[in-house]
Chain A
């Protein structure tokens, strides 16, 4: 009997059991075992069409749900083109200087790159910059002296970071750096108006000025800052739409009683702001000049200390170091020195954290409140 006849017979057998798949499979297996050559041909035998039933309703639902979920996960969030470009050029390595496996300094003469960085006092750093910018070397003895302060922006909660902050500060010793800014002062009484003018406000007015601003007679673009006396607090509210973020408020210190101080601060104070790193989210940097090389060292130290204390008041966490490192530079000198901030800013330790609630920063305050309320709820549950 040739293999062909066998096949034909088998096909007939198979057609008898329509619908019972297992039987056909058995036959197929049987054919395969007969001859090696016939096994190839068996696959040509038409497979018996099977009745397909829909799955149960619950199963169908489950499967559709799963499918939908996968689709949702696939959809990517819209990222602007510029941000996408920025993400393509991720900077290599961390922003902070990392020193590992370097020994401490032993000798009095050493190659700095082989050893841990030594921080120095501000007086030394200033002296060294004076040497480099001396007329006989770089010839810029009146160069500005700048500080770069690295901050730890991590809040107490995980993956939460402090927002950028900007500050205005009256320096203990003024130096020429920023152009004088224009200030408009809102005050009701004649006395306070005189006070503001004397202090150097560029425009002063009461309710009538507000009306003129609303009518468009006074252009707002001429002024950089707007301040108001305490008794004008309610009157300036209609200007919210026009002034927007420049509207005087208590938090920024632009509403108060002492007009002289406020005008001086907003027109002649030193402006500085923190910048957060786009990739290293807990890295913040404040870069601001704090004097000239011609100023005496004591005055520079006073300015340096004032800025550091102001930055420290914006701290993110109640404990731990907020200012992680401070560099002092003075271009065109290519040098930068790490200056120790310990004499100017006290590091808050964990033990002091319970008593220190005078932090000005809103974020950390809210954090703390949240933490407290959670503790209270827990306590209630326990009772």
Chain B
């Protein structure tokens, strides 16, 4: 049983003394107070017996209902949304125990483990992990961006050529913060007003923290200040097939993952 518990908890990866997983800590501690405390006893006399009313208690604290404090852990490998390797993170206890400690992705940040981590970091000078992931959220963001179809609004009446700030503003309007230096545009200019470009796709490249890179589909939509000049409303305009502006980008545009709402529809049908 002991050995089984040891294996389940991740074997040698956990530096904690491994107990059987059946042995659970049961917290049944209540802090109570006597409602009618007994009076003091007299000197040099045997103590009086307690009366029935002395056994009435008021609850001060129930430790079962107390919020458990957060766990402090050291990650043994990169965990998406949590942290990089060798990072000391603070997580909720159940998440930490079931998802990180049980799978061996983390160890407790005990003084010994912290000491060991410090020694290890000193010995290995080159940081391998930073070359794989720039931050805990970068990979998530990259995946979401690849799914995205960015709507780039352009004016129907006035002349325009799509520039970097157009893309940046379009990202910002759809709730994504992208600075100028993270955007890489294609060499060929796209300009208008040209109603043939309506609903056509082109690609820009976004680089997160100078590391994670992904192409993002952009869709041109025409817009007019005057409501009567605007193009008629089209339903489901974000769904495939996607027509590219430049024919050589068709391959990449079709291979990028579909947006979530398209996936849901395909599952339902």
Contacts and interface: CB of A to CB of B under 8 A. Distances in A.
Given A108-B209, A109-B177, A139 B153 contact: no
B76 interface: no
Contacts of A137: 153-155, 160, 166, 169, 223
A106 B211 CA distance: 14
Interface string A91-117: 000000000000101111111111000
Interface stretch (B120-128, B129-137, B231-239): B129-137
Contacts of B207: 109
Contacts of B145: 109
Contacts of B157: 139
Contacts of B166: 131, 136-137
Interface string A323-343: 000000000101100000000
A263 to B, nearest CB: 38
B172 A107 contact: no
Given A106-B135, A106-B137, A109-B206, A138 B173 contact: no
A128 to B, nearest CB: 7
B208 interface: yes
B252 to A, nearest CB: 19
A111 B136 CA distance: 14
Nearest to B214: A109
Given A136-B158, A137-B166, A107 B138 contact: yes
Contacts of A113: 175
A335 B177 contact: no
Nearest to A111: B176
A132 B168 CA distance: 10
A334 B153 CA distance: 12
Contact of B179 (A109, A131, A140): A109
B213 to A, nearest CB: 11
- Consensus secondary structure, chain A interface: loop
A103 B81 CA distance: 10
A37 B154 CA distance: 95
Contacts of A107: 134-135, 137-138, 141, 208-209
A140 B225 CA distance: 8
A112 B176 contact: yes
A19 interface: no
A113 B177 CA distance: 10
Which of A109, A113, A118, A335 gathers most chain B CB within 10 Å?
A109
Contacts of B178: 109
B57 interface: no
Nearest to A112: B175
Contact of B175 (A105, A111, A128, A332): A111
Contacts of B208: 107-109
Nearest to B138: A107
Contacts of A135: 155, 158
Contacts of A108: 179, 181-182, 208-209
A187 B166 CA distance: 57
B169 to A, nearest CB: 4
Interface string B167-200: 0110011011111011000000000000000000
A140 B224 CA distance: 11
B47 interface: no
B176 A109 contact: yes
B144 interface: yes
A136 B158 CA distance: 6
Which of B169, B179, B208 gathers most chain A CB within 10 Å?
B169
Interface of B: 134-138, 141, 144-145, 153-155, 157-160, 165-166, 168-169, 172-173, 175-179, 181-182, 206-209, 223-225
16 contacts: A105-B177, A107-B134, A107-B137, A108-B208, A109-B176, A109-B177, A110-B137, A111-B177, A114-B137, A128-B169, A131-B166, A132-B169, A132-B173, A136-B155, A136-B160, A138-B153
